[in-house]
Amino acid sequence: MQVFSVILIARFFGWICRRIGQPPVIGEIMAGIILGPSLFGILFPGFSEFLFPISSIPNLKLVSQIGLILFMFIVGMELDLSVLKNKMNTAIVISYASILFPFALGLGLAYFIYDNLAPAGIGFIEFGLFMGIAMSITAFPVLVRIVQEKGLKNTPAGIIAIACAAADDITAWCILAAIIAIAKGGSLIDTALRVLLIAAYVLIMLRVVQPLLQNLYERYGDGRRNKSITAISFLVLLISAFTTEILGIHALFGAFLAGLIMPDNLAFRKIFIGKIEDVSTILFLPLFFVLTGLRTQINLLDNFYLSGICAIVVLLAVTGKFIGSAFAARFVGQNWHDSLVIGALMNTRGLMELVVLNIGYDLGIISKELFSIMVCMALITTIMTGPVLDLINRRYKIL
């Protein structure tokens, strides 16, 4: 019943969002929030408790984690690193600016809200670092789809934005892995040892496993004729996710890295993504959105302080990503139109933000109030991308 209702409502709201020019993922996220305590829990408390009893949440979380592992694997495979090579200098400058600026704003905000919104027992270092990275996320998959839908795929701004988002994803997940290691590390020696083990694991994946996979692909084909290639790829995914979970960062980081090191043949990646994308995005991911919705309690933001913090978070998020990326693009020689387009695209957070927020919530780094605030920020900054792009294009009368 849970799966049936989730898929039905998620597809319905996704269809509505597509009709009004928004990414379908927005509707799917909103469907999760609607099914949670923010709406159904208030209007139909009996039905909500019947459909999502507390005893079912661990199972829901487990299934959603499987979906997220597959999704992060797809995200890793969708990263075309050749785009980074072609726009390396420009992408790195804009990408790092779009991380450092909002990271600094998030860290500064953490200083002022730490006493009131940080969970008990969480130190300021891990809380502040997590707030910084949570403000710095860009949703690579959603950004790519917006670029395609808006006809920007072959424009300089679209190409640079995709390259910047790819660099952002890689950098942000590495920083997040370090933050998780710090949060779980305990003593300074334990943390340093954990970071060294993670670095060794990444090196082994890049220098040993990736060449082996490339060699296997070149010898035995693209996976259509030999299903062993597909099986080996899934084994690499599962072992990588399990290894990073054991190392204490998160299984999702291992899934992302496994996707990143898959054979660099684009035809192979397209075929492989096609095998698992529909199952992941239609069946499993909506369950993750519902899990997020069950954790999001917008009704908690019913006082002036929390509502004010929510407004400040949105303002700082837009300032850090949009303005930071736009000015960085202008600094490296882009015209104002392309700079603003890049800024608007980099401000897209979408699903990737929810993934990061759920990690922080599971680790106890952020409270349920702050979790709800950050989910609202992710929704608002993603919803505004399309209208802002249209406004920029009307202003400059380019497209």
Instruction: Give the per-residue pLDDT at 187.
Output: 63
Which residue's entry shows tokens 């608007």? Answer: 344
Q: What is the mean pLDDT of residues 349-376?
A: 89
Instruction: Give the per-residue pLDDT at 86.
Output: 63
Residue 5 pLDDT exceeds 60? yes
Residue 225 pLDDT exceeds 60? no
Q: What is the mean pLDDT of residues 145-161?
A: 81
Going from the C-alpha of 20 to that of each of 13, 14, 214, the distances in angstroms are 11, 10, 43
Radius of gyration (C-alpha) of the chain in whole angstroms: 21
pLDDT band at 110 (very low <50, low <70, confident <90, very high): very high
The first and second tokens of residue 140, run together, are 């690579």
For 12, other C-beta atoms within 10 Å of its C-beta total 13
Residue 399 pLDDT exceeds 50? no
Going from the C-alpha of 114 to that of each of 109, 127, 131, the distances in angstroms are 8, 8, 10
Tell me if 147 sits within 8 A of 153, measured CB to CB: yes
The dihedral built from the CA positions of residue 200, 206, 212 and 217, taken in this order, carries a sign that is: positive
In terms of average pLDDT, the best of 10-24, 144-158, 372-386 is: 372-386
In whole angstroms, what is the distance from residue 82 CA to residue 80 CA? Answer: 5
Instruction: Give the per-residue pLDDT at 38.
Output: 76
Q: Which contiguous run of DSSP H or E holds residue 299?
A: none
Residue 264 pLDDT exceeds 60? yes
More confident residue, 379 or 248: 379
Write down the mean pLDDT value for the chain.
Answer: 85
Instruction: Give the per-residue pLDDT at 102.
Output: 92
Going from the C-alpha of 15 to that of each of 40, 59, 150, 165, the distances in angstroms are 20, 28, 17, 26
Residue 103 pLDDT exceeds 90? yes
Residue 106 pLDDT exceeds 90? yes
Residue 239 pLDDT exceeds 90? yes
Q: Which domains are present in the chain? A: 2-396 (1.20.1530.20)
DSSP string for 83-113: HHHHTHHHHHHHHHHHHHHHHHHHHHHHHHH
Instruction: Give the per-residue pLDDT at 82.
Output: 65
For 116, other C-beta atoms within 10 Å of its C-beta total 12
Q: Which contiguous run of DSSP H or E holds residue 24?
A: helix 24-35
Instruction: Give the per-residue pLDDT at 341.
Output: 92
Which residue's entry shows tokens 């954790």? Answer: 295
Summarised one tens digit per residue, pLDDT across range 111-147 is 999 999 999 888 898 899 999 999 998 887 788 878 8
Residue 104 pLDDT exceeds 90? yes
- The number of helix segments (H) and strand segments (E) in the chain equals 22, 0
How buried is residue 112: exposed, middle or buried, by Cβ count under 10 Å (0-12/13-18/19+)?
exposed
pLDDT band at 56 (very low <50, low <70, confident <90, very high): confident
Max alpha carbon distance in the chain (Å)?
Answer: 64
